[in-house]
Amino acid sequence: MIISLQHRSIMFPAASLLTTLLLALSIAASPVEIRNSPITLPIARRLNTSGGSINILQHDQSRAAALKNVGENTLNRRTGSIAVTNDAVGYIAAVGVGSPATTYNLIVDTGSSNTWVGAGTAYVKTSTSVDTGEPVEVTYGSGSFSGTEYTDTVTLGSGLTITAQSIGVAATSTGFTGVDGIIGIGPLDLTEGTLTDEPDYDDPDCIISEIVVGISFEPTTTETDTNGELTFGGTDATKYTGDIAYTPLTTTYPASYYWGINESITYGTTTILSETAGIVDTGTTLILIATNAFSKYESATGATLDRTTGLLRITTTQYDALEDLNFNVGSNTYALTANAQIWPRALNTYLGGSADYIYLVVNSIGTPSGEGLDFINGYTFLERFYSVFDTTNSQVGFATTAYTDATTN
């Protein structure tokens, strides 16, 4: 193991990028919350309109189905079946691989843990590239990649360079357009079964003090916008207001395989979803809730189903009457205002919708409550609240931001 904190260059045995990165950052970490971590990585939102208008609902519901299926198939992980990546709306981080580095635009995904390149920009071998000879294969439901595991130098922003890092290099891939691969920041168990020769993550040398990732998104009304940030090993206090409130990870299956929490949802004072398990997910664009909760929300708002987009549509009068949609997590409530419940009107045409309509970002997950994954708090929730994914303490945190009550949409 080689550590040089002065140059922020770290070498560890092969492991997931997130594990290696956070181990590097935690070498001198104290067991308290680290504010203003020096390692940050910008995230850009990109609408994938290469095939014309996008169907966000279809992609999100397909992803939700795949997320549930991976829990059901945990006894047969060698199939490598994990969550489908949302290729309708991507949240992209620029990551350097090799020396000199080639920059790859990778989807940020909290629903998977493999990091790989080569879907778009071909992998460029340099003097730091080492072919392990190990095959790697992952199926994402509506996409997949297969190839070979390499170790190489990985550069994240200007803050950290990791040497001899394990990455997947795609020989073939399907379902990924306009991006080069994935940077997976989901729970480590999701990598199991994707490599023939799995590394031993129980090595005593791999004890990690603080595995924390902070994520900031900001509402945007443009097709492509660098409106987010990943912070590794701590949080960025400039991105949120007040304090971060934490809730323990759920033990309910299959939400427990992801960043799962328990919450209830009320529309105004009316309960539409009693406390149940679901997940927080950067790879889902909309807010998806169980079919019975969705029916109550549709009725309460007076919305009608728009056949073109699959989204709920409301009138200006109904928008003016919208009540807060409250996500009750532990003793804390996170309220989405009326403006936070609608899709950015400037981007309606990218959905194939009308520029004059008002579309809601809450929709059905496709199954009733009681199945162990009854909601997904997707990007449209996360752009209003700062989120913290804390593996060390098995918890997820939220805080308000300057955009919680914004009228951007």
Return the active site residues: 109, 281
Strand duo 116-117 + 160-174: pairing? parallel
What are the residue ranges of helices labelled H in 157-315?
291-301
The C-alpha atoms of residue 273 and residue 21 are separated, in whole angstroms, by 37
The C-alpha atoms of residue 41 and residue 258 are separated, in whole angstroms, by 22
Strand duo 181-184 + 102-109: pairing? parallel
Coil vs helix vs strand at 272: strand
Q: Is 209 exposed, middle or buried (0-12, 13-18, 19+ CB in 10 A)?
A: middle
Angle (CA) 254-259-185 rounded to 5° is 120
Which amino acid appears at position 290 of this protein?
A
Coil vs helix vs strand at 306: coil
The C-alpha atoms of residue 13 and residue 385 are separated, in whole angstroms, by 35
The C-alpha atoms of residue 88 and residue 190 are separated, in whole angstroms, by 22
The rounded radius of gyration (Å) of the Cα atoms in the chain is 20
Coil vs helix vs strand at 408: coil
Q: Where are the beta strands (DSSP E) in 129-240?
A: 130-139, 144-156, 160-174, 181-184, 212-217, 224-232
- Phi then psi for 310, rounded to 5 degrees? 85, 0
122 with 210: CB under 8 angstroms?
A: no
Angle (CA) 226-405-216 rounded to 5° is 30
20 with 162: CB under 8 angstroms?
A: yes
262 with 280: CB under 8 angstroms?
A: no
| 159 CB-side CA count, 13 A | 17
> Which tokens in the block code for residue 325?
């949609």
